[in-house]
Structure 1
Amino acid sequence: MIFNFFVCSAVKEIPEKLEKFLKEIEFPFETRISYVDRLSGTDDEIKTQLKSAHVVIGEPHFAHLLSNPEISCPNLRWFQSTAAGLEYFMKMNPCPYFPTFAKLPFVVTRGATFYGPTMAEYCISMMIAVQRSFFKMKEVQIKLDSPYVDRDNYTKFPLLSQLTVGIMGATGSIGQDIARRLYALGCTVIGLCRRKRKEGEPIVTPQVETPVNAHLPPSELCFEEMYPILGDDEKQTSLRTFLSKADVVINVLPTTLETIHLLGGRLDSEGKEIPSPMESCKKSCIFINIGRGTIIKEDVLVDILKKGTISHAVLDVQEMEPLPSSSRLLTELSPDQVTITPHCSGWPQNGDFITPLLKENLSRFAAGMKAEESALKEGRTEEWVPDLLYIMNWKEGY
Structure 2
Amino acid sequence: MVILFSATISEKHRQSLVQKYPTLDFIFTSGIKEAEQHLEEATVFVTYGDDLDESTIEKAINLKWIMVLSAGVDQLPFKQIEKRGILVTNSRGIHKTQMAEYTISMMLQVYRQEKTLYENEKLSKWDKSVRMKEITAHTLLVLGTGDIGQEVARLAKVFQMNTVGLSRSGRPVEYFDEVYTIETIKQNLPKADFIVSVLPSTAETKYFLSDEHFNLMKEEAVFINIGRGDLVKTETILQAVRDQQIAHAVLDVFEVEPLPEDSPLWTEPNITVTPHISGQSPNYMIRALTIFQENLDKYLNGENNYTNTVEPSRGY
Partner of 1:161: 136
Is 1:325 equivalent to 2:301 in the alignment?
no
Q: Which residue of 1 aligns with 2:204?
A: 258
Deviations 1:332-390 (A, max 9, x none): x22xx100010011013143222442232122111117xxxxxxxxxxxxxxxx43121
Residue aligning to 2:161: 187
Matched, 1:49 2:7: no
Change (3 A) 1:358 1:166: same
In the alignment, what sits opposite 2:174? 221
Following superposition, the deviation at residue 244 of structure 1 comes to: 1.6
1:134 maps to 114
CA gap 1:11/1:244 in 2 versus in 1, 3 angstroms: farther
Deviations along 1:63-92, one digit per CA (max 9) or x if unpaired, are: 12x5363x3111111111111111110xx3
Structure 1 equivalent of residue 73 of structure 2: 86
Conserved 8 A contact 2:4-2:35: no
Q: How many residues align?
A: 314
**Cα 1:68–1:60 shift into 2, 3 Å:** closer
Check the 8 A contact 2:249/2:271 in 1, yes or no: yes
Is the CA contact 2:68–2:91 (under 8 Å) kept in the aligned structure 1? yes
Cα distance between partner residues in 2 of 1:341 and 1:123: 12
Using the aligned pairs only, state the percent identity: 28
Residue 75 (structure 1) aligned with residue 75 (structure 2): no
Q: Verify the 8 A CA contact 1:114 1:348 in the aligned structure 2.
A: no
Instruction: Report whether the alignment pairs 1:33 with 2:9.
Output: no
Amino acid at match of 1:119: M
Aligned to 2:3: 5
- Asked if residue 243 in structure 1 is aligned to residue 189 in structure 2, the reply is yes
Task: Indicate yes or no: 2:272 matched with 1:339.
Answer: yes
Residues in 2 aligned to 1:68 and 1:321: alpha-carbon distance in whole angstroms: 23
- Contact 1:114–1:353 (Cα < 8 Å) also in 2: yes
Q: Which runs of 5+ in 2 are unaligned?
A: none
What amino acid is the match of 2:219?
K
Question: Which of these residues, 289, 295, 318, is aligned with residue 225 of structure 2?
Answer: 289
Q: Deviations over 1:319-339 (max 9, x none)?
A: 1111112323235x22xx100
Q: Distance in 1 between matches of 2:61 and 2:157?
A: 47
CA distance in 1, matches of 2:82, 2:151: 37
> What is the deviation of 1:62?
0.9
Report the secondary structure of 1:363's partner residue. helix
The offset of 1:315, in angstroms, is 0.4
* Larger Rg belongs to: 1
1:389 aligns with 2:307: yes
Alpha-carbon spacing, 1:185–1:253, altered in 2? closer, same or farther (3 Å) = same
Superposed displacement of residue 186, structure 1 = 2.6
Query: How far did 1:20 drift?
Result: 4.6
Gaps of 5+ in 1: 24-29, 198-202, 204-219, 233-237, 265-274, 370-385
Q: Distance in 1 between matches of 2:266 and 2:169?
A: 36
State which of 87, 90, 106 in structure 1 corresponds to 2:86: 106
Give the Å deviation of 1:15. 2.4
Question: How far apart are the structure 2 equivalents of 1:46 and 1:284?
Answer: 50
Take 2:70 and 2:312, find their aligned partners in 1: how far apart are those partners? Answer: 16
Q: Cα deviation per residue 1:264-297 (whole Å; 9 max; x = unaligned)?
A: 1xxxxxxxxxx42121111111111111111111
Distance 1:102 1:131 in 2: 46
CA distance in 2, matches of 1:133, 1:263: 27
Shift, 1:58, TM fit: 2.7
RMSD: 2.1
Partners of 2:253 and 2:287 in 1: how far apart?
22
The alignment's TM-score, normalised by the length of structure 1, stands at: 0.74
Distance 1:130 1:196, change over 3 A: closer
Matches of 1:257 and 1:136 in 2, distance apart? Answer: 39
Q: Which moved more, 1:185-194 or 1:314-323?
A: 185-194
Partner of 1:362: 296
Q: For each residue in 1:223-264, what CA deviation from the matched residue of structure 2 results, as whole angstroms up to 9, or x when unmatched?
A: 1111212xx3xxxxx111222222111111111111111111
CA contact (8 A) 2:6 2:46 kept: yes
Does structure 2 conserve the Cα–Cα contact (< 8 Å) formed by 1:7 and 1:14?
no
Q: TM-score scaled to structure 2, two decimals?
A: 0.92
Q: What is the rounded CA distance, in whole Å, between the counterparts of 1:102 and 1:163 in structure 2? A: 44
Structure 2 counterpart of 1:250, one-letter code: V
Residues 82, 312 of structure 2: 8 Å contact kept: no
> What SS does structure 2 have at the residue aligned with 1:288?
strand
Match of 2:130, SS state, is: helix
Q: 1:163 to 1:49 in 2, by over 3 A?
A: farther
